[in-house]
Structure 1
Amino acid sequence: MSFKGLCNLRLKNISRKAMPKRKLDAKEDRQRDDGGEEKQDERRIQCIFKSESGETDGSPFELPINISKDKLQLVCDAVIKNDEKVPYAFFVNGEEIRENLLKTVGEDILTKTETAVEIVYQPQAVFRVRAVTRCTSSLEGHADAVLYVAFSPNGRHLASGSGDSTVRLWDIYTETPQFRCKGHQHWVLCLAWSPDGRKLASGCKGGKVCLWNPETGKEICRSLTGHTDYISALAWKPLHLDPESRYLASSSKDRTVRIWDVMTFKTHMVISGHSAHISFVKWGGSNLIYTASHDRTVKVWRASDGVFCRNLDGHGHWVNTLALSTDYVMRTGAFDPANAKIVHDEVTDSPEELSKKAKARYDAVVATGGENGGFERLVSGSDDATMYLWRPEDSKKAIARMTGHQKPVNEVKFSPDTRIIASASFDKFVKLWDGFTGKFITTLRGHVNMVYQVSWSADSRLLVSSSKDSTLKVWKVEARELMLDLPGHADEVFAVDWSPDGQRVVSGGKDKVLKIWRS
């Protein structure tokens, strides 16, 4: 049987399935003939399936113009031999097919197109994360506001940094305090877990970087000193480039980035070149370092020798935040979030074995994306209320300028599957953008004050946000709507993080309390 015949036979089988009765609607794809009887819209259109990488599967074939998303999944399973039954999302000209093909492409496509309509299919996560719905613990202990919270790459450890100059480690099983880490003399502004999960770095307002052993709560070494002003961000060298997690980058208001060798506890390299304070640093998977500054630029540096590569210009005010499309896969390293056992299993692999696993996961994520795939993408957010999407490895020209926020953009985050960017702003809104083109998707409305942070679930289907209005909100991304409102904090919620295994969300804020949320 020919390819076209196989598809038509598949479609006939689909149409024989019983469909639930429903009320008539003028906008639906059913219509009445002159005799008053219902008849199905039998118009068809030439289509062809196309992968994210641009490869077409088979030759063009006809599909009903009103075919639904669920039926497209069945056809796709047959055409591309999807034996594992991976769920797909379908797109035409960048628009997702959410109900049926007709509503996405419109009536005009029937007369205007002379070639087959390309339906791009994108694999979705097979596993699902359940939304958190309730607070299971309120963890007290900090004597000042909680400024930063972070789960370790495998989700087995939880850390928090506070204005009381301490770092605290918490037992996620009993949801109780575990270790109080004292070493800073000023506010702890940022935390970063090494991608192997064996070290925790913290940076403070006094310009000091400390390293902690999460198993004992003890300081690994004397403090790493050299910065002359506060630490704004920390970034470890990715695991697939550094099996021993030996190198750590820190950015500072003193306009420099220092790369530390945590084996010798000395400065390995100092990078300078910005004319104002550096607000953010990222260490990319291609061994490039990206820095954002109040001088309105993003700079790209070669991590191997600190050589300046290029300027990314465009912002009209301070650049506050950066995110890489590979952030999530580099954060979790060798630990696959789809495997919930990562929290409970002891790590027995050698550093080299962990590095190989991390490399395989990293390569798989970078390979997606079609025209803009094959490269890490970078998004920057600024006080000018705009965002820029870049492909910084090989170009200083932006892929897109993203406008829509009315006040400073405080944080940006790529979804774990890299397909969506979420932005949090002081204008009270969370916005979603296409992670490949920068095209605006939707605005998530619900907060009544500034939004500080956002965090994705591991399956990219849910998003949680924290706000000055003292609440967390859980958003259902596919439906583009508010799913749950989580009140409970007594004041502003500065920080939020979703555990890599999807089981927990942690939040912290001005009320000095950490809250654990579970489904």
Structure 2
Amino acid sequence: MSEPPTKIARREQKTPSKEEPPTDASIIVQFRSANGDITGPQLDIPHNVTPMQLEVLVNGLLSNEEKLPYSFFIEEQELLGELGAHLGAHKISVEKALSIVYQPEAVFRVRPVARCTASIPGHSEAVLSVNFSPNGSMLASGSGDTTVRFWDLNTQLPKHECKGHKNWVLVVTWSPDACYVASGDMNGVIHLWNPAEGKLLGTCSGHGKWITSMAWQPAHKCLPSQRFVSGSRDNTIKVWDAVTRNCMLSMSNHTQLVTAVKWGGEGLIYSASRDCTISAWDDRDGKLVRVFKGHGHWVNTLALSSEYILRIGAFDHTGEAPEDPEAAKQKAAQRYEEATAGKPERLVSGSDDFTLCLYEPSTSKTPITRMTGHVQLVNQVVFSPDGRYILSASFDKSIKLWDGCKGTFLATLRGHVGPVYQVSWSADSRMFVSGSKDSTLKVWDLRTRKLKVDLPGHSDEVFTVDWSPDGSTVVSGGKDRVLKLWRH
């Protein structure tokens, strides 16, 4: 005679499932640093321990006077909840000591932007490019109305309107010491501005078609800032002297227009093109070092793992930097060394073939991995400030999150109902903001991989977004000709 169903249900309730450790279970763990070094002895800890409690343990093992925040990884999966539940969900064995890798997080914490504090009209055509200064105190914007404008973030008011371009301003970029702003237009003309006074310092002429991208030489290589590189639709890459306004190097091996340029921290300049290739050039003499052929269609976008640290130079997250150029250069070099921790710089590219390619360009021209999953073109890729994650924004209305070292897929973030044009990280690598054709901005939480704040307000497409290096402000601009500042 079979057992009654109530007895079976009661017996099953008493039997613990294989995936969930019994309530009194403990787990033997061994902490390791990101470099693989063993930290402290093996420890017997309860199965319901949380990342916050592990943080206390690691700070104790390292004898940290100031308690530092850490994130924890088990077999490359980040621990987000209780340890036992994580092991069960990922079917991880605990027959031998469990290795837990800890990685430091930013000491400061950025608060999520939640409201629009200023809508600043001024541009009479679409806003095409916005860029915060490395110290986070000023903002530059370029527009289809042929002007470059500087904005004061303390008063949230316009500071200078700079005229001189004869066509749409497509790119604006700050030097890492915040002394120059370079702007490039559709005629192929580059203007250099003094941002403090809004004065035109000079013009760099030499490109025959519009400027698509610009980047400055890193601060740990040269301070005060002097050189920058530009890429153009005329298929060439040019290096300019900001003081004399002369073209120092002109490089060309691309057979189609150059879509993106980056100036790396290891002495290489990278250029991406619609000819499906990426080139690496020696920044001293302009010699071609390597050609990367991982994509089957136009390469639209590039990002470097050290990009955030190269952008802010000697400035810290409070906007402070040594006044002496030599001391500032040493500070920038020290910060670059700490950020890269002796590891080679990584480069990621996004393409019209719907894929991303991750490279270690100083060591090999073959990709570490090819990242697939998007179903339309990849518009932008960007590394987190700590270099541990990559975001890709696509015309398929999604944002994808990837591991910044191995390129493994981590999450798809959906919420936009139009193509995603740009994404930008907060300085502490805990959040990011996205701007879309659907006229909204959205703030996402890295840890939960979910939408944190929805920011409607623009009346048309959002072309460009940037999160200030001090973490206090997000700026957005687009087709409605209005700059919006968003704060906590």
- TM-score band w.r.t. shorter chain: over 0.9
Question: What's the offset of the Cα at 1:462?
Answer: 1.2
* Aligned partner of 2:338 among 353, 356, 364: 364
Aligned residue number for residue 39 of structure 2: 57
Aligned residue number for residue 19 of structure 1: none
Aligned residue number for residue 260 of structure 2: 280
Report Cα offsets for 1:68-99 as digits up to 9, x if no partner: 22222222222222332111111011001111
* Residues in 1 aligned to 2:467 and 2:330: alpha-carbon distance in whole angstroms: 25
* Residues in 1 aligned to 2:322 and 2:430: alpha-carbon distance in whole angstroms: 31
Question: What's the offset of the Cα at 1:42?
Answer: 2.9
Aligned residue number for residue 303 of structure 1: 283
Matched, 1:457 2:426: yes
Aligned residue number for residue 60 of structure 2: 78
Report Cα offsets for 1:279-300 as digits up to 9, x if no partner: 0000000110111111111111
Aligned residue number for residue 51 of structure 2: 69
- 1:301·1:309 contact (CA, 8 Å) conserved in 2? yes
The CA RMSD over aligned residues, in Å, is: 1.7
* Aligned partner of 1:144 among 125, 133, 137: 125
* Residues in 1 aligned to 2:125 and 2:244: alpha-carbon distance in whole angstroms: 33
Matched, 1:161 2:146: no
Amino acid across the alignment from 1:102:
G
Aligned residue number for residue 77 of structure 2: 95
* Residues in 2 aligned to 1:311 and 1:96: alpha-carbon distance in whole angstroms: 34
Question: What's the offset of the Cα at 1:183?
Answer: 1.3
Question: What's the offset of the Cα at 1:185?
Answer: 0.7
Amino acid across the alignment from 1:391:
E
Aligned residue number for residue 188 of structure 2: 207
Question: What's the offset of the Cα at 1:40?
Answer: 5.9
* Residues in 2 aligned to 1:90 and 1:32: alpha-carbon distance in whole angstroms: 32
Matched, 1:406 2:380: no
- 2:377·2:395 contact (CA, 8 Å) conserved in 1? yes
Aligned residue number for residue 8 of structure 1: none
Gap regions ≥5 residues in structure 2: 1-12
Amino acid across the alignment from 2:35:
S
Report Cα offsets for 1:186-240 as digits up to 9, x if no partner: 111111100000100001110011100011111112x100011111100100000
Aligned residue number for residue 161 of structure 2: 180
Question: What's the offset of the Cα at 1:348?
Answer: 6.2
Aligned residue number for residue 189 of structure 1: 170
* Residues in 2 aligned to 1:240 and 1:313: alpha-carbon distance in whole angstroms: 30
* Residues in 2 aligned to 1:237 and 1:40: alpha-carbon distance in whole angstroms: 57
Report Cα offsets for 1:405-451 as digits up to 9, x if no partner: 11111111111111111111111111111111111111111100010
* Residues in 2 aligned to 1:163 and 1:361: alpha-carbon distance in whole angstroms: 37
Matched, 1:432 2:406: no
Aligned residue number for residue 256 of structure 1: 236
Question: What's the offset of the Cα at 1:32?
Answer: 5.6
Q: Secondary structure at the match of 1:410?
A: strand
Going from structure 1 to structure 2, the CA distance change for 1:447 and 1:59 (only over 3 Å counts) comes to same
Aligned residue number for residue 490 of structure 1: 459
Amino acid across the alignment from 2:66:
E
Q: Secondary structure at the match of 2:199?
A: coil
- 2:314·2:322 contact (CA, 8 Å) conserved in 1? no
- 1:473·1:486 contact (CA, 8 Å) conserved in 2? yes
* Residues in 1 aligned to 2:40 and 2:157: alpha-carbon distance in whole angstroms: 57
- 2:150·2:159 contact (CA, 8 Å) conserved in 1? yes
- 2:430·2:447 contact (CA, 8 Å) conserved in 1? yes
Give the percent of matched residue pairs that are identical in Structure 1 and Structure 2.
51
- 1:96·1:104 contact (CA, 8 Å) conserved in 2? no
Gap regions ≥5 residues in structure 1: 1-30, 368-372
- 2:322·2:328 contact (CA, 8 Å) conserved in 1? no
Aligned residue number for residue 219 of structure 1: 200
- 1:149·1:496 contact (CA, 8 Å) conserved in 2? yes
- 2:280·2:291 contact (CA, 8 Å) conserved in 1? yes
Q: Secondary structure at the match of 2:385?
A: coil
The runs of at least 4 aligned residues of structure 1 exceeding 6 Å deviation read none
- Higher mean C-alpha deviation, range 57-66 or range 301-310: 57-66
Report Cα offsets for 1:355-402 as digits up to 9, x if no partner: 1111111110101xxxxx711111100011100111111111211111
- 1:150·1:191 contact (CA, 8 Å) conserved in 2? yes
Amino acid across the alignment from 1:269:
L
1:290-369 → structure 2 map (5 Å cutoff):
290-337=270-317, 339=318, 342=319, 349-367=323-341
Going from structure 1 to structure 2, the CA distance change for 1:40 and 1:104 (only over 3 Å counts) comes to closer
Report Cα offsets for 1:129-151 as digits up to 9, x if no partner: 11111111111111110000011
How high is the TM-score relative to the length of structure 2? 0.93
* Aligned partner of 1:472 among 431, 441, 448: 441
